[in-house]
Amino acid sequence: MQESKNDHEETKNPNTDNQFTTGGEEEESLTLKENFRILFGASRGFWLVNMVNFGDGIAYFGILHLMTLFISRDVGFSDHTTGIAVSTFTGLVTLFMFGGGFISDWLGVRKSLTLCLLGLLLGRLMFTASPVAPGVLAGFSIWSGLIIMALATGILQPTLYAGVKEYTDPRTATIGYSLLYAIMNLGIVAEAFVSPFIRQTYGITGVYLALIGITGLMLLLHLTFFTKKREKQDRVVFVEKKVTAEPEKSKRMKLSELPFLDSRFIFFIFVLLPVRTLFAHQFLTMPDYITRCFPEHVGARLEWFQGLNPLIIVIFVPLIAAFTRKVSVIKMMIIGTTVSALTTFILIPGPSLTMLIVYIIIFSFGEAIWSSRFLEYVANLAPVGRVGAYMGLAGIPWFFAKFTTGFYSGIMIEKFIPFEGVHDSGTMWLVYSFIACISPIGLIIGKKWIDKGVPD
């Protein structure tokens, strides 16, 4: 799930409305070593949140990476219907995330995690059981499972970020969010390494049953150790709230401040939609491409190829961010999206194991360049006090990319890499490459205009 960045504002940031204190102490400027020392000695609540984060990184992506193969082969859907099903699931995850934060705020982190884990356990059981369900119950089981999983995941994601916010203090919040992202990706890498061995012996259903077991174990550990007492002891308390008096604004003024009326903001987030389709193809198209166009022993290691991406992201995102922090966001976005788009041309000559690995590495490097800078620009573009609204709407193009790509990916698979018949994968990747190139070209054309929207 490609998806997120720390939007936590520290105590003395003038753009925040809330002030946090930790027993009245002044916020300290800490070295990286001191941050890690404090965080690793931090509350159990923080690590209990990350226990769920790590386990769900394994389970969610383990299911997603094999979902197209499971639905088409085990359930028996056509390639087109499979694409629609997977795209509907991933699109709903993003859609439910928009409201998931409100549910998390209402229930609190501990109760929200309990609800999410129960929903994930039920949804994953129904989804996995769909091939053996009789008659119409099979369709009911698979679609209900997808919707329940999407809803639970959509609530879980903002809950995990809320958990980091509640169980770290302002000094360690940034490192806390970085660890959350890194731990999730480590879960993906762990799953990608082990999954092929289980799949070769027990099939995709065997992998899914193991992931259901991990979900159940997470729920058991959560209920056992994340108690009301632990929640009360470890949570960082909001002891002070700063109230800023503002003059009453007319309805017209309030309407003019809405993010979707900011032309630069709308152009920026939607110009990235074409290149984002490539990320959707990593789970919509790549599984069939690898298993149909490469020898059987390569397809048997599908998850290893999928695990390369998060491994590279974990290593290079912080390094690139550290070395390019003085480079303008737009310039980094242009470079990163250009790398992501042009790298896809590597696949046009036809299936080659070497070129596939080169593609994954360079494509992931491009993602590491631009994905971490996207929300940075959105945050800088947003007026004071409107960062949250801008951040929420910034996810809409990713929703459209995931939701719409599946409506044509299955058709393209059936046409260019059918299960039986002549393959022409090069033409398929050529089309996808040209679509993705729209993003860097659009950014280059609009660079000067976009740059004017952000204050120095």
Residue 369, in any domain of the structure: yes
Residue 172, in any domain of the structure: yes
Q: Of the candidates 178, 213, 242, which is a domain's last residue?
A: 242
Q: Of the candidates 242, 276, 298, which is a domain's last residue?
A: 242
* Residue 99 CB neighbours (<10 A): 14
Cβ neighbours for 393, distance < 8 A, ≥ 6 positions apart: 259, 260, 265, 269
pLDDT of residue 447: 85
Cβ neighbours for 256, distance < 8 A, ≥ 6 positions apart: none
* Residue 68 CB neighbours (<10 A): 26
- Indicate whether 187 and 263 sit together in one domain: no
Q: Of the candidates 192, 219, 242, which is a domain's last residue?
A: 242
DSSP, residue by residue, 165-189 = HHHS-TTTHHHHHHHHHHHHHHHHH
- Indicate whether 348 and 203 sit together in one domain: no
- Indicate whether 263 and 223 sit together in one domain: no
Distance CA 215, CA 221 (A): 10
pLDDT of residue 280: 87
- 443-452 burial, b if ≥16 CB within 10 A, otherwise e? beeeeeebee
Distance CA 64, CA 61 (A): 5
pLDDT of residue 378: 65
Distance CA 50, CA 62 (A): 18
**Contact by Cβ (8 Å): 62, 207:** yes
DSSP, residue by residue, 71-136 = IIIII---HHHHHHHHHHHHHHHHHHHHHHHHHHHHH-HHHHHHHHHHHHHHHHHHHHHGGGS-TH
Four-residue CA torsion sign, 97, 101, 107, 108? positive
For residue 167, the domain's CATH number is 1.20.1250.20
pLDDT of residue 1: 42
pLDDT of residue 376: 62
Assigned token pair, 154: 């959509």
- Indicate whether 274 and 344 sit together in one domain: yes
Which 3 state secondary structure label does DSSP give 19? Answer: strand
- Indicate whether 220 and 342 sit together in one domain: no
Residue 358, in any domain of the structure: yes
Distance CA 22, CA 116 (A): 30
Phi, psi of 145 (to 5 degrees): -60, -45
- Indicate whether 419 and 354 sit together in one domain: yes
Distance CA 432, CA 300 (A): 25
DSSP 8-state class, residue 70: I
pLDDT of residue 17: 36
pLDDT of residue 437: 96
The distance in angstroms from the start CA to the end CA of the chain is 33
Amino acid present at 358: V
Residue 4, in any domain of the structure: no
C-alpha closest to that of 85 among 378, 406, 444: 406
- Indicate whether 84 and 148 sit together in one domain: yes
What is the domain range of residue 66? Answer: 31-242
pLDDT of residue 274: 92
- For the chain, the domain total comes to 2
- Indicate whether 220 and 107 sit together in one domain: yes
pLDDT of residue 248: 60
For each successive 10 residues of the chain (456 residues), what is the average pLDDT? 37 34 44 59 77 94 92 90 90 82 81 95 96 87 96 88 74 65 83 91 95 96 88 56 50 55 76 89 90 91 86 78 75 91 94 94 88 65 55 68 83 92 94 95 88 60
Residue 22, in any domain of the structure: no
